[in-house]
Structure 1
Amino acid sequence: MTVNRGRKIVLWRHGQTAWNLERRFQGSTDIELTEEGLGQARRAARLLAAMNPDAIIASDLKRTAATAAELAALTGLDVTHDEALRETYAGTWQGLTHEEIIARFGDQYAAWKRGEPVRRGGGELETEVADRAAPVVERAADKLPDGGTLVVASHGGTIRTTIGRLLGLEPGTWEALGGLTNCCWSVLGEGARGWRLMEHNAGTLPEPVLGDDD
């Protein structure tokens, strides 16, 4: 029997990077925030601080660490960094623009968009990303008090696969979860049957999704 403890998980994408603007596939490449990205993180942190989070975990890459640091500064919470929350490793795709990927790996790109299991650029499968990231989120959520809130600063693709895994969705349907705008977030709430999606791509007026997940 599932026990509803009233917990929430906020999955928060990092702020803008130069590669986002250039539409370059970042994957696990360690790219820093732009000044605009840092400003996005500061604005989002003020909103997230109002949720009174109990814990913050984050990918250890620079763009997510800097994003999470803004919320930590407002809340006084420590950030636990974990490389398991990194973005999908995408091998030879990393650093290429979407146009370059389509030109060089068109069949592979099309198969990925159809929801087929694809090692983009020889990298990770989406299910492998979920295998490493979702348990980290679940373990952190298990430590929350009843009614507590966990903030997870991560990456668009990793967040999508983690949501899909926590909701029990079939991997081929994960693409149905739209991408996150920089520094926006999704909220999972605990229900009688497990986790459910309460909010998706929340936090700002609609803006284009710039990144690996668009």
Structure 2
Amino acid sequence: MRDRRIVLWRHGQTAWNLERRFQGTTDIELTPAGLAQARRAARLLASLRPDAIIASDLGRTRATAAELAAVTGLEVVHDTGLRETYAGVWQGLTHDEIIERYGEQYAAWKRGEPVRRGGGELETEVAERAAPVVLAHADKLPDGGTLVVVSHGGAIRTTIGRLLGLEPHHWESLGGLSNCCWSILGESARGWRLTEHNAGTLPEPVLGDDT
């Protein structure tokens, strides 16, 4: 065991987040508030002394990752494999519009059934492109090293589910990430384990028998 750590960090707020529009692969920029969120979070994450930063190539993740790069001096490696789920005709629709037009499909997705939302990607397909990118960069870490992955809520959830070995129909049990919050996977004797989820503060030590 090399005691590595993976920090999966969601991008800052966008206008479509505020409007509850499904973004998917649509390239939406950060709002001024989203940029401020990224700057605040970057100062915290920099104290974890990351060894590498990788990010989706979309504008909202590029801008978020750039804030951490600015305070760490690290170069960001962008990869299309870390993009959000492509959701076809759902992209650009509000939550209410999706429920109104595609209610049965939405309900099936929430039940954990394999659904091509809007004719787009399956969640398992997102995991199949994103998780290998994360693992390939994690394998380059030194012992005790930290990788920061700047991505999107759905892509992060599927990646966590895949790396933890959860069955796909259980991935929805992982709650969503707020803008500019993160989840942390730590290496254990049995593989990766979730040590922080939807965090906006630095990790606290676990005091007890489950360290």
Scaled by the length of structure 2, what TM-score is found? 0.95
Paired residue for 1:191, among 181, 188, 195? 188
Unaligned stretches of 5+ residues in structure 1: 205-214
String of CA shifts for 1:78-127, please: whole Å, max 9, x gaps.
00000000000000000000000000001000000000000000000000
Q: Does 1:135 align with 2:132?
A: yes
CA distance in 2, matches of 1:47, 1:203: 9
CA distance in 2, matches of 1:202, 1:9: 13
AA of the residue aligned to 2:29: E
* Alignment partner, residue 156 of structure 1: 153
* Alignment partner, residue 48 of structure 1: 45
1:173 Cα deviation (Å)?
0.2
CA distance in 1, matches of 2:156, 2:99: 23
CA distance in 2, matches of 1:106, 1:197: 32
* Alignment partner, residue 23 of structure 1: 20
1:177 Cα deviation (Å)?
0.2
CA distance in 2, matches of 1:22, 1:123: 21
Number of matched pairs:
201
* Alignment partner, residue 111 of structure 1: 108
Paired residue for 1:173, among 170, 175, 198? 170
Ranges of 4+ aligned residues in structure 1 off by more than 4 Å: none
* Alignment partner, residue 80 of structure 1: 77
Q: Does 1:122 align with 2:119?
A: yes
AA of the residue aligned to 1:108: Q
Scaled by the length of structure 1, what TM-score is found? 0.94
* Alignment partner, residue 65 of structure 1: 62
Q: Does 1:182 align with 2:179?
A: yes
CA distance in 2, matches of 1:103, 1:181: 25
Three-state SS of the structure 2 residue aligned to 1:99 is: helix
Unaligned stretches of 5+ residues in structure 2: 202-211
1:131 Cα deviation (Å)?
0.2
